[in-house]
Structure 1
Amino acid sequence: MNIYDYLKMDHDFVANLFKQFKNAPSALRKQQIMEMIAQELIVHAKSEQDSFYKALLQHPQSKEDAQHGKREHEEITNQINTIMNWEKPDAKWIKQVEKLQELVDHHVHEEEHSIFRHAKRVLSKEEAYILKEQMHFLKHKLLKRLGS
């Protein structure tokens, strides 16, 4: 598995969590799923920035992609903070989660259709496999630190 497959797998996992959120039968269950979404997105963003985006920053042709992706991660993190600081889950809270999903969907689409294409021009196949290993290691290190 290379970095592109690994990122796609992460993206699919988060998309599935959003589906579970939408279908959750209670506010409590929605909160629990939102906590999983938040953790997954934060860990994903940090490990991706410290591996994949870090590698893209080394190449003039992909530097802008990495910077753009990082800005989108910041938007997503800010939205997560808004949601997690909400007093209680209500209709407005659900709208905030839907806004988060829109931000994530936009980011995933750009990453999988534009950034991946540009990255494949500057990263070798071997680098793509090494970056997957780096991201996987960083992700599990962060999850361990969070106690998950």
Structure 2
Amino acid sequence: MIWKLKKFNELSGEEVYKLLRLRSEVFVVEQQCIYLDPDGKDFKAYHLYLEDDGEIVACTRIFPKGIAYSEASIGRVIVKKDYRGRDLAKDMLVRAMEYLEVVLKEKVIKIQAQAYLFDFYRGFGFEPVSEEYLEDGIPHIDMICKK
């Protein structure tokens, strides 16, 4: 398995397709949430993903401040169903946070977390900054980590 980090314009058409397919599999089909995933922000994101034998099995988007929020952010955190339980999400989040902190020199990271993952993100230093709210029919909470 190989981790890759690319800007949108560095992704091949096949990689874009695989990323969007995985996001659709999890957010639209598995979570039964009807929403438009391609939100225009992919063009400005860094895409961190894990490939296993040519298949993308985990991915997330990384944003410098001023794109998704006034703070830097991480979003669309996904691990393919068959690959869960291997700490891939933890590994991915550590890599994304390190990239923001070390390479982009960001000190504050904001996420829009699905509420059931509150404790997971809290384990990385994220603290709530909003009440729970519905986004596309799924409970979410905004959280911030300051370094």
TM-score using structure 1 length: 0.29
Q: Which structure has more strand as a fraction of its residues?
A: 2
Q: Which structure has more helix as a fraction of its residues?
A: 1
Which of the pair has more CA radius of gyration?
Answer: 1
